[in-house]
Amino acid sequence: MIDKVKKLRAKSIHRLKGLPSDKLDKPVTYWISEDRLLDKIGKEFTIILRSKGCSWALGDQGGCTMCGYIKDSCVDTINSGNIKNQFMRAWNDKLEEIQNDKENYILKIFNSGSFFDDDEIPEDLRKFIYEKIANVSNITEVVVESRTEHLSRDKLIQMRSELGSRHVEIGIGLETVNDYIRLNYINKGMTFKEFLDAVNLCKQCDIGIRAYLLFKPPFMSEESAIDDCVSSIKTLIDMQVNTISINPVNIQRGTLVEYLWQQNRYHVPSYYSLMKSLKKGIKTQEMLNFTRIVCDPSGAGSRRGIHSCSKKECNIQMKDFLKNFVLSQDIIYLKKLDEEEHCYCKLNYHMQKMFN
């Protein structure tokens, strides 16, 4: 499997060489939208920066089986000045809108790799970004992402010091609490113990954790994916992880998952399975007293993303139920789903599970 992952990754990386210079100073994308804050509904300002790419994807093991975000990178010519220009382009475009808004914001900075990897985002650039954030009072929460090997006490202390009292979370792709699934099906290259060590380090530095869970990794049935997700949710809630972000697999180009999907050896997850996982994993409202659960599936409703059936109306309804739960953090929306009438796809879903 690793050889196939590496071969597919090498092909993707080859296509990235020679990126036009005008793209180097532009972020991949950025946006403002409604989002769940710690204790209320607010807004998110998300910036996706183009860096040299994830060290794990660029390394000898070829990266994760489902991840195609290396396509948003520039592996050969980009420098910290380019990334600074990307950040400032997004920042300057949205700053006035944010400052004039009465809502509080969560700022999410993603670079399709690790924010604390000095080869991607150097220390002086991180400090520059912190200083910009510190001057905007209604940015009350900040999220960045990193693999565990790039975290250090000094980096976290600097971030904590620069950002003051803001709630800060480090997003870590745990994917599952099951080491076998993470190492063999996802090729994550990280153990649960390494995640626990990162959690403890962040807690010591007064930094929160946002744990990413992958819903329905390759080589898993719909039912086993539900069981794995439920187990992971319960474990992380017991640990009092600040945020659990559930990410249903979407078929990204140049990945092993896409290769399996094209051969009809992988099927994207169903909305019904995701909702079942949430209902089984969160039995009481009290379970969300400390931990928030978020989910905003990429590619939802499309052939390559999570969906319930081919009907647009059905997928919109499922997406609305999920969004209402995320924004309110009220499990009543998970229960309401059973009370609603659904199209034929719900019966098909249960029939397929019976005979698979």
Tokens of 118: 């000095």
- The reported pLDDT for the residue numbered 189 is 97
User: Which class for 107: exposed (0-12), middle (13-18), buried (19 or more C-beta within 10 A)?
Assistant: buried
Sequence-separated (6 or more) residues with CB below 8 Å from residue 331? 279, 282, 284, 285, 288, 325
According to DSSP, residue 269 is labeled P
- The reported pLDDT for the residue numbered 355 is 63
Parse the chain into domains and list their residue ranges.
2-355
CA 285 to chain CA mean position, Å: 24
Question: How distant, in Å, are the alpha carbons of 252, 306, 319 from that of 298?
Answer: 10, 8, 11
Q: CA angle 164-167-172, nearest 5°?
A: 120
- The reported pLDDT for the residue numbered 23 is 82
Q: CA angle 51-145-296, nearest 5°?
A: 105
- The reported pLDDT for the residue numbered 15 is 67
- The reported pLDDT for the residue numbered 345 is 86
User: In what side-by-side order are the strands of the sheet with 139-145?
Assistant: 29-36, 41-48, 105-110, 139-145, 167-175, 208-215, 243-248, 292-294
Per cent of the chain over pLDDT 70 is 96
Q: Is 59 helix (H, G, I), strand (E, B) or coil?
A: coil
Residue 236 near residue 208 (C-beta atoms within 8 A): no
Tally of CB atoms within 10 A around 167: 17
Strands 41-48 and 29-36: antiparallel
Tokens of 342: 């659904």
Q: Report the CATH number of the 2-355 domain.
A: 3.20.20.70
Residues in the chain with pLDDT < 70? 14-18, 341-342, 354-356
pTM summary value:
0.95
- The reported pLDDT for the residue numbered 184 is 97
- The reported pLDDT for the residue numbered 76 is 72
- The reported pLDDT for the residue numbered 18 is 65
- The reported pLDDT for the residue numbered 341 is 64
